[in-house]
Amino acid sequence: MLAQWDCFLKNLGEWHGSFTRFSPQGEVTSDTPTLVTLEGLNNNQNVHQVVRYLPTNEPPRDVVVDYDSLNRSILFFENGAFSQGSMQWGPYSTFGTEFGLIDNQFGNGDRRLRMVELYNTAAQLERVVLIREKLPNSNTPERPTLTIDSLLGNWQGEAVTLYADLSEPTRFSSQLQIEQRDSEHIEQSLSFSNRTIKSTARIDGSKLLFENSDLPTQILLLPDGASSNCPLKVKLGHNFVLEMGWLLQPNIRQRIIRSYNAQGNWVSCTLVTEKKVG
């Protein structure tokens, strides 16, 4: 594995995009153009980051962060993908995570997709922020909005898991079968590491609602082939995951998953690259 800092450096560049906020129901509540600059200094020993918000009717606003090391709450994969966020969930506290994926399979690393999933002090999903970005000379088009039809099929995946305690990463294969049972439901079966998890979701517009579980979960189908997968409410005593997906090509999808244990402790991050085989 590359060093974490070297993986971080794969995000250097001048990323033009927007922060689009969605309600938990999938409705757009705001959209703000942005320019995020990540510049390597001192032979890339330091990174200078400027997030410039460019609202339509207000002056620009900058948020500046300088890095010479990385926080323990963030993990990077070798292709530059990352997950950062809360290391612990607990009652009556705000909680959330950010994901980032770089399209370095089809767009030469010139497009990036990030997502923030935030929970309020009542442990309820408060909003999802979709951040679509590209480098200045990118000609890689934005993907269509994700649809149920584009998810149906048999997906074979290769995954790597990085651990919060920095123990040795693990690699494994997975298989995800998604079928439409009727006009109102889909069924999925996920197999990995000698485990199989089956679940059924109710289709509600741009949402897939997994209601028959201890922690009801939803998948939002979003622009640019993106998806947000997370519980509607978190509570102690249950393992849970937060996830972002990106359909890079009709037959190639990446998912990045942040896992928490029943005590609310962050455990790991997993990056899955899946290919549709049927």
Report the pLDDT value the prediction gives residue 278, as an integer from 0 to 100: 78
Centroid of chain to Cα 151: 16
Sign of the Cα torsion 155, 107, 105, 13 reads negative
- Domain count of the fold of the chain: 1
pTM of the model: 0.95
Which residue segment(s) compose the domain that 182 sits in?
A: 4-276
Distance CA 224, CA 76 (A): 22
Sign of the Cα torsion 14, 118, 221, 78 reads positive
Residue 4: DSSP 8-state: H
Which DSSP helix (H) or strand (E) runs through 14? Answer: strand 13-22
Question: pLDDT per position in the chain (278 positions), as tens?
Answer: 689 999 999 999 999 999 999 999 999 999 999 999 999 999 999 999 999 999 998 999 999 999 999 999 999 999 999 999 999 998 888 999 999 999 976 556 899 999 999 999 999 999 999 999 999 999 889 999 999 999 999 999 999 999 999 999 999 999 999 999 999 999 999 999 889 999 999 999 999 999 988 899 999 999 999 999 999 999 989 999 999 999 999 999 999 999 999 999 999 999 999 999 97
Q: What are the DSSP calls for 186-219, one per residue?
A: EEEEEEETTEEEEEEEEEETTEEEE-SSSS-EEE
**Token code pair at residue 260:** 């928490």
What are the φ and ψ backbone dihedral angles of 246, each rounded to 5 degrees?
A: -145, 115
Cα 108–247–21 angle (5° rounding)?
A: 100
**CA torsion angle for 62, 80, 251, 144 (degrees, to 10)?**
10
Pairing type for strands 226-231 and 217-222 reads antiparallel
73: domain CATH number is 2.40.128.20
Sign of the Cα torsion 133, 136, 138, 139 reads positive
Question: Strand (E) positions, 26-122?
Answer: 28-41, 46-53, 61-67, 74-76, 82-85, 95-102, 111-119
Cα separation values, 229 from 102, 125, 209, 210, 232, Å: 19, 11, 10, 10, 9
Centroid of chain to Cα 196: 23
Report the pLDDT value the prediction gives residue 109, as an integer from 0 to 100: 85
Distance CA 78, CA 149 (A): 31
Distance CA 252, CA 246 (A): 9
Give the burial string for 175-211 (b: 16+ CB within 10 Å, else e): ebbbeeeeeeebebebebeeeeeeeebebeebbbbbe
Distance CA 196, CA 160 (A): 18
Q: Are 153 and 125 in contact (CB under 8 A)?
A: no
